Structure 1
Amino acid sequence: MARSLADRLLPAPRNGGFRMEGYWVWCGSVVQGEDGRFHMFASRWPKRLPMHPGWLVASEIVRAVSDTPEGPYEFQEVVLPARGAEYWDGRSTHNPHIKKIGDSYVLYYMGSTHPFADVQPGEDYGLEDPRCIAARANKRVGIATSQSVFGPWERKDAPILPTRPGRFDSFLTSNPAPCVHEDGSILLIYKARRYEGHTHGQMTIGAASADSFQGPYRVLTDEPVFPPDRFHIEDPYVWKTEDGYELIAKDMEGTLCGEKHSGIHAYSADGKSWSLFEQPKAYSRRVTWDDGEVQLMGNLERPFLLFQNGKPTHLFAATADGSGGFRNASNTWNMVIPIAPE
């Protein structure tokens, strides 16, 4: 029997991954470019804002590069900057997930906007701020495309996954996780919330499909693909296997794999009906570094697998120091954990 993903995780390089002085860094997604180097698309926002919910109004997607998958990655450019409140993604771009599809680089992401003034230095900002409330309600999934990993990137005038009134995704769509099939068609797993008057429903996971990355994208089920009464998860990552699909995601409560905010591992024949593996834990927040230290990270989420020659070779994850939770972090960065062969 093949070893589980959790059992194959190797010590993490202490000096690997990607971080930036003065910024919160999150959401690492990596592709090998036409130059043979490894390009990480990540989210960042200034530390003058709180880590959470600063990302909702000031996140931007950037590109960093390394000669090796482990890094360290060096900042290169802002890929999707703010572009004005009148655009659906004009105030925040977040949750990048990069794919090479045929001759195109396709960047899936969450975008949002709000009609108010930007948060100024020294100004209070939190979850009850009108800018935060509006930005959360305006979260949508979209794509940007380029013929080169260096850009330029073409952004769309509308999201690919709008909300659907009366459905589980009537309030927002976010956290896109695309799986590309050999024929170029797409299975897209995503996070959603239902509109419930002055508030919103709990996190749910949906599935959509498209004949190509350009769309249109069709939601496959009327209900979430993970029953929300049993599966409280987010941050999905999905890939194709000989038997169907596999997925890893963040366990919000720890009720599925035994450790809060660690990762679950699930499988599906069709992308719509999912079950947990017999060993459901995909990874732990307890990390072993290459200098021998074992550390319980404050956060370890937004998992992304780098595949090389059809096999997963590295797990990337957004991580934070501190005692746990967004508000207790002093620093965040994207780390990388090498994966041993099966």
Structure 2
Amino acid sequence: MKIKTLSTLLVLMSLNGVAHAEKQMIDYFLPMEPQGPLVSEGIWGETNALPRDIQNGIEDPTLKTWCYWDGAIVKADDDRYHMYACCWAQTNSHNAGWRVASKAMHAVSDNPIGPYKHIGLTWPHWKEGAGGNVIGLRMHDGRYAMVTSEITDGEVFVSDSPDGPFEHLGTIQVDYNGFKEGLGRYYKEPRHMSNVQILLRPDGRYMLVPRSASILISEDGILGPYKIVTERIYKGMPEIPQKRMEDPSVWYSGGMYHMTVNYHIDNVTYHFSSEDGIHDWKYRGIAFRNDGDFFKYTDGTVNHWPIVQRMTVFVEDGHPTHFLFSVIDSRKGEDGPNDKNGSKIVMMPFDGEAFDRDMQNIVAAEKAAEKGNK
């Protein structure tokens, strides 16, 4: 007997002998507590995105300056939450914004859900601030790092302070290790790295996951060289589309590694896990799908965002507590310059303690079943 997803059966193995209900990752997301009144008037957006909490995450509610996309959060020693993300001027369409005009930025909040205050661009002295697929993280040596890819080659900027200044450390290096180049770099010219996520492993190494959802490991620091050590983790899995997958997010919690990967054609994101982060990745079910009442507030109000991408995770005290989603109120091609459509970053709370506990029980049940079959 093999257990492949969280939804295939009840987990019967627990310390108190009580069966856990069937769940997939999507079931652990929680309603959003509004950080202010839900607003409909005087802000951008189609009716599907109204009313909404303009203090959740980050947005420019009147679109006087910015649209926002990408992003990751770091909690700093000052106990503030620092969001490192992308923005572009509303004078660009969405497609022009993320493809050519995206710039790396920094925002800060006293609360993980927001509101986040836009502090400024993080490296305006380098290529006029260019940055795509921007994420932030804390390095093993304690410094703060920002990573950019997609519209740049794949660079790392570092600072001793979460507020910067961020200086260019260098460009990520890849050792293809006998694998195809496309597993490390985007298949389109100019073959930049894309969708780069970097995770600090408990063993002291750096783990990089690019658009391909392959695993790359560095023994020598955040710049690498990163050696490709696996194919796409979902390769050959019959439940998973084998093309057009993107936007992987990776984290470590509950004693195991997790990854989500998005199939943007259907706006479905899949969840995988591995005990060592390299071998034996297993499909665990649906992480997110955009065809229901997912973006729900505690009062029952629901926002429906046509495009939801770039999901990343925030882990605090060892558990995932919030996920960031980049959202737009229209189809990408319908968002033109200086119109009423826009994009923002939404923060969704997540019951990470329950998720990690139930995942540990799932893995324990799998091991028991495998042992019983020997």
Q: Is the 8 A contact 2:250 2:259 kept in 1?
A: yes
Q: Corresponding residue for 1:336?
A: 347
Deviation at 1:241, TM superposition (A): 4.5
- For the residues of structure 2 that align with 1:244 and 1:158, how far apart are their CA atoms? 29
SS state at 2:86 partner: strand
- The aligned amino acid for 2:282 is S
Please identify which structure carries the higher helix content.
Answer: 2
Q: Is the 8 A contact 1:163 1:173 kept in 2?
A: no
Higher gyration radius (CA): 2
Residue of structure 2 aligned with 1:247, choices 252, 255, 259: 259
Q: Corresponding residue for 2:192?
A: 172
Deviation at 1:274, TM superposition (A): 3.1
- Tell me the TM-score normalised to structure 1 length: 0.76
Q: Does residue 97 in structure 1 map to residue 109 in structure 2?
A: no
1:242/1:64 CA distance change after superposition, 3 Å? closer
Greater shift, 266-275 or 55-64, is seen at 266-275
Q: Corresponding residue for 2:40?
A: none
Deviation at 1:231, TM superposition (A): 4.9
Q: Does residue 141 in structure 1 map to residue 184 in structure 2?
A: no
Q: Corresponding residue for 1:155?
A: 168
- For the residues of structure 2 that align with 1:47 and 1:107, how far apart are their CA atoms? 24
- The aligned amino acid for 1:154 is E
1:103/1:326 CA distance change after superposition, 3 Å? same
Q: Does residue 108 in structure 1 map to residue 140 in structure 2?
A: no
- For the residues of structure 2 that align with 1:271 and 1:231, how far apart are their CA atoms? 21
- For the residues of structure 2 that align with 1:252 and 1:64, how far apart are their CA atoms? 27
Q: Corresponding residue for 2:205?
A: 185
Structure 1 gaps, min length 5: 85-89, 113-138, 192-203, 254-259
The sequence identity of aligned pairs, in percent, is 21
- For the residues of structure 2 that align with 1:235 and 1:287, how far apart are their CA atoms? 19
Q: Does residue 44 in structure 1 map to residue 87 in structure 2?
A: yes
Aligned positions of 1:266-285 closer than 5 A: 266-269=272-275, 270-271=277-278, 274-277=281-284, 280-285=285-290
Structure 2 gaps, min length 5: 1-10, 12-19, 35-52, 336-340, 355-374
Deviation at 1:83, TM superposition (A): 2.6
1:54/1:309 CA distance change after superposition, 3 Å? same
Please identify which structure carries the higher strand content.
Answer: 1
Residue of structure 2 aligned with 1:9, choices 24, 29, 36: 29
- For the residues of structure 1 that align with 2:83 and 2:69, how far apart are their CA atoms? 11
1:11/1:166 CA distance change after superposition, 3 Å? closer
- For the residues of structure 1 that align with 2:271 and 2:278, how far apart are their CA atoms? 14
Deviation at 1:35, TM superposition (A): 1.4
- For the residues of structure 1 that align with 2:153 and 2:175, how far apart are their CA atoms? 6
Residue of structure 2 aligned with 1:316, choices 321, 324, 346: 324
CA deviations on 1:105-128 (whole Å, 9 max, x unpaired) are 12122164xxxxxxxxxxxxxxxx
Deviation at 1:81, TM superposition (A): 2.7
Greater shift, 204-213 or 40-49, is seen at 204-213
Aligned positions of 1:220-235 closer than 5 A: 220-221=228-229, 223-227=231-235, 230-235=242-247
RCO comparison, higher one (Cα < 8 Å, 6+)? 2
Q: Does residue 264 in structure 1 map to residue 270 in structure 2?
A: yes
- For the residues of structure 1 that align with 2:175 and 2:99, how far apart are their CA atoms? 18
1:315/1:98 CA distance change after superposition, 3 Å? same
1:206/1:141 CA distance change after superposition, 3 Å? farther
SS state at 1:175 partner: coil
Q: Corresponding residue for 1:200?
A: none
Deviation at 1:223, TM superposition (A): 4.5
Q: Does residue 215 in structure 1 map to residue 223 in structure 2?
A: yes
Deviation at 1:214, TM superposition (A): 3.2
1:208/1:72 CA distance change after superposition, 3 Å? same
- For the residues of structure 2 that align with 1:212 and 1:163, how far apart are their CA atoms? 16
Q: Corresponding residue for 1:18?
A: 58
Q: Is the 8 A contact 2:82 2:107 kept in 1?
A: yes
Deviation at 1:212, TM superposition (A): 4.4
CA deviations on 1:140-195 (whole Å, 9 max, x unpaired) are 2221111110112121343445999963236331111112112321111001xxxx
- For the residues of structure 1 that align with 2:176 and 2:159, how far apart are their CA atoms? 26
